[in-house]
Amino acid sequence: MAKGGFRGMPGGMNQAAMMKQAQKMQQEMLRMQEEQEKKTFTAKAGGGMVAATVNGKHELVEIAINPEAVDPDDVEMLQDMVIAAVNEAMRAADSEAANNMSRLTGGLNLGGLF
């Protein structure tokens, strides 16, 4: 290895600088994960008849069902609305986490490196 760093690295970045940058990125990622876990994501289904709220840890923290949605003759529709609302709230949490990671890595897919 050349004295100035890795061959082909832009600006002759040396190993210590690379490690420092990786540690900085890892700390930023941990901070973002902590913030994400504190957030909540709410989604509605059935025209607002069912609302589900999840947190950034993918835990269901609240479910709200409009009494008008409760039809004893059509329990399956209520079940479907609950599932749809919970799944959409989970997707919203995942989407924000992915966007945050993309901003952190500049769009570079690190494939679980951190």
Output the pTM of the full model.
0.68
pLDDT of residue 68: 93
Residues 6+ apart with CB under 8 A from 32: 100, 101, 104
**pLDDT tens readout for residues 55-81:** 999 999 999 999 999 999 999 999 999
Rounded Cα distance, 36 and 46, in Å: 27
